[in-house]
Structure 1
Amino acid sequence: MTRDEILVAYSGYIACLNAQDWPNLENYVSDEASYNGTLIGLDGYRAMLIGDFKAIPDLQFHMVQVMCDPPVIAARLAFDCTPVGDLFDLPVNGKRVQFSENVFYEFAGGKIRNVWSVIDKAAIAAQLCTGAPSAPAQEPSA
């Protein structure tokens, strides 16, 4: 895939997630999908995302930074949400939190095959201690 094709596919993937359009996830994610080095397949990937939305009903993925070097695309995603219980083993319990995710996706056969994700748990923990969300993750200004 070219850089432009990957960027278009990735934008479609993010839109699919935000719409919770689970039947169309197969258009973006491979049957052989791996997440952080573990083969989970399309069904496991879908189940993971459904679980995320169950834990975070107002979850939305916001692209802050995107870089593409085919077949890999990297993104910093920002979240501003209100999880209903524990989130990443932290007792959020309905408090509004803001955090980011740094994630790399590798495309193969026109779909996401490998995902490597690091979520900023420290930002969530800090907000739970102070009771206030941190400054939103946004693109640096020039």
Structure 2
Amino acid sequence: MTDIDLADVYRRYIACLNTQDWPSLAQFVDNDVKYNGQQIGLSGYRQMLERDFRDIPDLQFKIELLAVAPPLVASRLLFDCAPKGMFLGLPVQGKRVSFSENVFYEVQAGKIVRVWSIIDKAAIEAQL
């Protein structure tokens, strides 16, 4: 897979998340995906995303930076949203917050097999 092809696949993956097209998630994510070192599988990954959208009704993933070096993808995602209740252990309670996520993916056979994610929790804390 070329850099351009992988970048296109990643953009379509982000569009899948933003439209909450859960049946299509399997086109982008492997059945045995690992998230931050933990084997959660496709069903666990989908459950995590569905929970995120329940807890953050206005959640949208916006790509700020994207670097591709197959089989790896690195992305800085931006968020401007209002999580309900607690978020990352913080009492956000519907307040609008802006933060970023630095996330790295390993892709094999066109599907995400590993994800490493770090959310800028300090940015949220500074806004509360």
Moved over 3 A (4+): none
Per-residue CA deviations over 1:74-130 (Å, capped at 9, x if unaligned) read: 0000000000111100000010000000000100111000000000000001100xx
Q: How many residues align?
A: 128
- Structure 2: which 5+ runs fail to align? none
Higher strand fraction: Structure 1 or Structure 2?
A: 2
Indicate the SS of the match to 1:68. Answer: strand
**Which residue does the alignment assign to 2:116?**
116
TM-score (ref. length: structure 1)? 0.89
Cα distance between partner residues in 1 of 2:4 and 2:66: 12
**Which residue does the alignment assign to 1:70?**
70
The percent of aligned pairs where both chains have the same amino acid is: 58
**Which residue does the alignment assign to 2:79?**
79
Indicate the SS of the match to 2:95. Answer: coil
- Structure 1: which 5+ runs fail to align? 129-142
Q: CA RMSD in A?
A: 0.5
**Which residue does the alignment assign to 1:5?**
5
